[in-house]
Chain A
């Protein structure tokens, strides 16, 4: 029975959350939706670990839905590129679900608990689909499901602040534009090649070896659509309000996982499919992605410095951090892709931890967390504050934290590509990150008012500290993350050489 369950692990990691999501929608209970979600995600983790085991044996799993062979049927593909991400996704989804309960209880109407967790699982399932799918149209479907789920989740923040509705609506419109761009691109590709399967697409595209305007147009549409979804500067504007007005648990999930999965697919599309047009690819990377990444890093950091609202500050910092990732991916070689993946992992942990801590502060003071409202929190809530401090130091990239490892590998990649200007810019912007982060620390510990120690909730600080400890552990013992990222880069690079 259990073996049967494991045989379909590749499909179940996506289908299971989606199924359970439908079941718990109408559950009136306050606590059961959470427990069921938690059990689902434990199973999800078991499945992911099973996939890891399979991959370490066979190296590649293609799961064909309904035994329809590709290129006709929909298929999932798990290989070295996405297994690391799958594992991170699974673990972080579990931790943030554990964290979410108390946050949801105080931020949304308790009668909505069932609906909230239904959407929560819907988002998790569909985002996981983005990681696994091997079909460009199927990706569009998952993109839409995840967008609708996260928009509804963001709108749940309206109980706290009505602006959440506006943010959700913004995301809806801009996200829909992005998705439309993507699906237009898919249409072009389908018209030219008659296939939607990514592996088949590569083969079919090879017949237009000298390139075709329609193909290039389609590719451009797809890339721009994904850029909107991944919040790459300057099409990022939906992200800051969405992250900052969403309920705190939702911000955590989205900030850590949503853009990361889309970035992953973005790079997969670039280096697995579009690589057969090297001139188009390097045109896009050198003249679009690279300058935009630099702008994202610099402008995102600068805007973050002037934010008063902490969640907004973190959201703008995310824009900059996404810039680091796309900068690495734009380098078009093994070291660049590796460092991009390393930062996907590390930044998911760092930003997840930061949003968790700030989210906890938001429900503690029952108001938005602004700089001034953080006064004395270091004395009031030392456990969470200290975790926030460590996550922040990692965001700056100080040694002994995983942020440093990211920075080290990014520098190495830039150095081997002789991009000295980018090195200087990255160095400056990481120093600027001190400016916005230290404003928070100063308020928390060095403002004039002192508070008495208050009790903190172990259900909330436990997941925060799991993340925080992992930040330090992966800063010292970095080889798991580096090996997974190396593996991803190996697969992507060797994929196009064959």
Chain B
């Protein structure tokens, strides 16, 4: 199978999954199975591409020219191969989980949900494999629009206003900052293609680079750096499978992925290190890490707490990109994988607790650990990984980020990362402690939903297992981020 065909197949498979789900909308089991099948197919393709990238194969396909110097083209970068692997593999589990959750919680409009879910995955894969910044932008917008129906799924006043906030922040920032930044890059360099080492060096006025970086980091609203993070907690009104896959994996990761790609393949780390134009961003990222960790502590709603934790963790990646040293970039890229695995576990657990015990608040979790041991087990694994305790996969990325900040002689940043880990321990493990130490005073009626229990156990265990196979991913990460 030729490489370019593989890309097309990978990108359209989710669309076919959406189409088939619509065709089979009257047969629930058949309809929902297409998510799993689509996940398997795209996962195999992503895996093949991932290995291909390791062997220096080229995956590229160009369709037509959009305007001077910009084609509608897909080209898989090393970073893209990582992101697509994460998104597609977790799609399989998320599809299984979705079946359990949506039926367990008795949500309406399940067909529409499944369809837009698949379209969102399609957009995420296309973002991962896009060959230039404009193609990335196109699918970035498609991802926003396709997740809008998922966020506003419940169609009540609350979810409608959340949907509006979600859309207005994401589309607004992208049109006000991101698109003009893209135009700016194009006007200065005449191209938008992703190239190793970046395209801006010697082409772009260095004194304006800080401004460009600012336009990019605020324009890519999905990266949720403060002060444009408000959409993420608001979007948590969506059903949990959406929060799990889209707001721990596809959407937010598409955001930080886009920013990372811009830094690595457009601006160029070398140019950044020369001009130090992103050093201000290091401090903003640190502020976001600390502020959102502190907000997370105050949240009693489990999903809201996880949302703020996500904001904090996303800024780790932005921090790595802003530091721009090779170790930091390695850590940032790796953090896409580790955080995705850890956070999806936590969201899966939050949803499973809601479906089985109808509990949303941390304070009501008293004694639930004894009743839902598997879920709490998985939750603990995920939490430990995000905190960065060895032997969990999350420790690797945190290690590299700390090393990276020391490499750039930002000692304060390394200390902040340490403090943030302590805060993580508090707000992520508090539910576990609540669950196991205090006895429940009231009776809770449990509903069985096994399909929501096993996916988090799998992802939680993989957090543990992949600690030992981290090199498998790191080859791709470090193979291409050459400085």
Contacts and interface: CB of A to CB of B under 8 A. Distances in A.
Interface of A: 396-400, 405, 407-408, 411-412, 415, 423-424, 427-428, 430-431, 434-435, 438, 442, 445-448, 476-478
Interface stretch (B37-45, B133-141, B399-407): B133-141
A446 B155 contact: yes
A407 B67 CA distance: 12
A446 B160 contact: yes
A277 to B, nearest CB: 32
B67 A398 contact: no
B423 interface: no
Contacts of A446: 148-149, 152, 155, 160, 163
Interface in B141-180: 141, 148-149, 152, 155, 160, 163-164, 167-168, 171-172, 175-177, 179-180
30 contacts: A397-B175, A399-B66, A399-B134, A399-B137, A399-B138, A399-B141, A400-B138, A405-B67, A407-B179, A408-B183, A411-B180, A412-B187, A415-B183, A427-B176, A427-B179, A427-B180, A430-B175, A431-B171, A431-B172, A434-B168, A434-B172, A434-B175, A435-B168, A442-B163, A446-B149, A446-B152, A446-B160, A476-B72, A477-B64, A478-B67
A476 B66 contact: yes
A400 B138 CA distance: 8
Nearest to A450: B109
Nearest to B135: A399
A396 to B, nearest CB: 7
Interface residues of B, number: 27
Contacts, number: 63
B384 to A, nearest CB: 39
Most interface-central of A398, A434, A477 (chain B CB within 10 A) = A398
Contacts of B141: 398-399
Given A397-B175, A400-B138, A477-B64, 4 more contacts: A415-B184, A427-B175, A446-B152, A478-B66
Nearest to B175: A431
A290 B170 CA distance: 30
Query: Does more than half of chain B's interface fall in helix, strand or loop, or is it mixed?
Result: helix
Interface in B252-277: none
Contacts of A431: 171-172, 175-176
Interface of B: 64, 66-67, 72, 134, 137-138, 141, 148-149, 152, 155, 160, 163-164, 167-168, 171-172, 175-177, 179-180, 183-184, 187
A427 B177 CA distance: 8
Contacts of A407: 179
Contacts of A448: 155
A427 B175 CA distance: 6
B268 to A, nearest CB: 22
The 4 closest A-B CB pairs, nearest first, are A431-B175, A431-B172, A399-B138, A411-B183
Contacts of B72: 476
Nearest to A409: B67
A350 B141 CA distance: 20
A415 B66 contact: no
B298 to A, nearest CB: 32
A400 B137 CA distance: 11
A396 B167 contact: no
Contacts of B175: 396-397, 427, 430-431, 434
Nearest to B167: A438
Contacts of B138: 398-400
Contacts of B179: 407, 427
A398 B143 CA distance: 13
A399 B70 CA distance: 12
Contacts of B160: 442, 446
Contacts of A427: 175-177, 179-180
A419 to B, nearest CB: 13
A305 to B, nearest CB: 11
B128 to A, nearest CB: 18
A307 to B, nearest CB: 17
A411 B187 CA distance: 9
A55 B180 CA distance: 37
Contacts of A434: 167-168, 171-172, 175
Nearest to A396: B175
A408 B163 CA distance: 29
B155 A408 contact: no
A446 B183 CA distance: 33
A435 B167 CA distance: 9
A445 B64 contact: no
Contacts of B134: 399
A498 B163 CA distance: 57
A430 to B, nearest CB: 5
Nearest to A445: B149
B168 A412 contact: no
A148 B208 CA distance: 54
Contacts of A412: 183, 187
Nearest to A438: B167
A397 to B, nearest CB: 8
Nearest to B163: A446
Given A431-B176, A435-B168, A446-B155, A415 B64 contact: no
B64 A428 contact: no
A427 B219 CA distance: 12
Nearest to A433: B175
Contacts of A400: 138
A417 to B, nearest CB: 12
